[in-house]
């Protein structure tokens, strides 16, 4: 049974999440705002992060043994995957969604959204602006960027996180993720 906000991550957001938390240092690149929002959602939001089978498949193709291993570790320990209920419906829905988000390079985006619908995710986080803009009008899943979703949670400043890093985690000595 889905919770209030069953939060899905697309493959890019999963990578941003792993990068944000891998060594505890504050993100400072051009995606810092999105990475910090993902870290805060993970630690403060009462809902778990979920991925779909296509996200898992995309992450399995990540080049570089270290990066691929980090993704597998995070997914196996902190991120859940819901089973698909209707693979046939996903195929049909993927084709339907491609009418609004065409191109071979967008096929997996459409499949991820079809899987999110099938598994009853209520939110799918992505930083792919064309994907968000083109497909939001055609789905009941809330498609949004991590920073916008974090803001929508309206967690009061100074609130205690629901999850804290272990005392030996480098993140515990950092303050950038605290709200």
pLDDT at residue 82 in the model: 84
Q: For the chain (length 179 residues), average pLDDT per consecutive 10?
A: 72 92 91 96 91 91 81 83 91 97 95 97 96 97 97 95 88 93
pLDDT at residue 1 in the model: 31
> Which residue has tokens 């990475």?
35
Q: How far apart are CA 72 and CA 86, in angstroms?
A: 25
pLDDT at residue 35 in the model: 96
pLDDT at residue 23 in the model: 83
Q: Distance between terminal CA atoms of the chain?
A: 29
> What is the model's pTM?
0.91
Nearest Cα residue to 113 out of 59, 48, 51: 51
Say if CB 17 and CB 9 are below 8 A apart: yes
pLDDT at residue 78 in the model: 83
Helix or strand (DSSP H, E) at 147: helix 146-152
Say if CB 117 and CB 135 are below 8 A apart: no
pLDDT at residue 77 in the model: 79
Say if CB 71 and CB 20 are below 8 A apart: no
- Kindly state the tokens that stand for 70: 């980090």
pLDDT at residue 22 in the model: 83
Buried b (16+ CB within 10 A) or exposed e, 59-83: beebeeeeeeebbeebbeeebebbe
Helix or strand (DSSP H, E) at 54: helix 53-60
Q: How far apart are CA 35 and CA 17, in angstroms?
A: 6
- Kindly state the tokens that stand for 154: 């309206």
């Amino acid at each position: 049974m889905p919770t209030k906000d069953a939060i899905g991550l697309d493959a890019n957001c999963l990578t941003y999440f792993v990068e944000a938390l891998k060594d505890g240092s504050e993100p400072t690149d051009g995606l810092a705002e999105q990475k910090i929002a993902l870290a805060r959602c993970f630690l403060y939001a009462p809902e778990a992060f979920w991925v779909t089978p296509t996200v898992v498949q995309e992450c399995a193709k990540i080049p570089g043994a270290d990066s691929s291993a980090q993704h597998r570790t995070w997914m196996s320990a902190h991120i859940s995957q819901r089973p698909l209920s209707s693979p046939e419906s996903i195929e049909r829905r993927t084709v339907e969604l491609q009418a609004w988000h065409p191109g071979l390079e967008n096929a997996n985006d459409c499949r991820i959204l079809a899987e999110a619908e099938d598994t009853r995710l209520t939110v799918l986080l992505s930083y792919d602006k064309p994907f968000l803009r083109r497909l939001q009008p055609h789905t009941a899943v809330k498609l949004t960027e991590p920073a916008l979703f974090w803001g929508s949670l309206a967690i009061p400043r100074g609130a205690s996180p629901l999850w804290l890093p272990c005392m030996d985690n480098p993140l515990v000595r950092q303050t950038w993720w605290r709200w």
